[in-house]
């Protein structure tokens, strides 16, 4: 994206399609089709490209947006095709989801080991 947004606003984007990621590259190119919406911005379908700079050894497989996922973005009300993904929020949500999955699996294994009822 070149230049600055004229009227930036926080919004969200539904990932409709995304090209495969090259997990070892840095920066990692993101290319996908998104349906963007925000306050004062009607739903708009955009083809979006941007680069993400990986931090340390983080796994792109864990944080990379997938089809059907809704991700936080900043979008220009004046031109909804101008946007950027909020990678910090995407990464935080992905880490929380992984932690919850690990916690749920640990609980399931303990219940199984001790013969506890897992039906609810």
Three-class secondary structure of residue 48 per DSSP? strand
> What pLDDT score was predicted for residue 118?
58
What pLDDT was estimated at residue 106?
87
At 64 the pLDDT is 81
The whole-number pLDDT of residue 74 equals: 96
Q: What is the pTM of this model?
A: 0.73
Give the model's pLDDT for residue 83: 95
Q: How far apart are the first and last CA of the chain?
A: 49
User: What is the pLDDT at residue 38?
Assistant: 96
Q: Give the pLDDT of residue 1.
A: 43
Predicted pLDDT of residue 32: 95
- At residue 120, the pLDDT reads 53
Q: Is 29 left (phi over 0), alpha (psi -120 to 50) or beta?
A: beta
Domain residue spans in the chain? Answer: 8-86
Nearest Cα to Cα of residue 90 among 117, 58, 64, 120:
64
Q: Which residues does the chain have with pLDDT short of 50?
A: 1
Q: Which helix (H) or strand (E) holds 90?
A: helix 87-113
């Amino acid at each position: 994206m070149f230049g600055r947004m004229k009227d930036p606003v926080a919004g969200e984007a539904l990932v409709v399609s995304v090209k495969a990621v090259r997990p070892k590259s840095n920066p990692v190119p993101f290319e996908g089709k998104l349906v963007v919406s925000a306050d004062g911005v009607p739903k708009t379908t955009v083809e979006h490209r941007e680069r993400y700079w990986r931090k340390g050894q983080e796994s792109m497989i864990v944080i990379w947006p997938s089809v059907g996922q809704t991700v936080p973005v900043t979008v220009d009300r004046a031109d909804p095709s101008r946007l950027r993904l909020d990678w910090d929020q995407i990464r935080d949500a992905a880490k929380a989801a992984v932690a919850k999955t690990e916690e749920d699996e640990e609980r399931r294994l303990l219940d199984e080991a001790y013969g506890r009822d897992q039906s609810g």
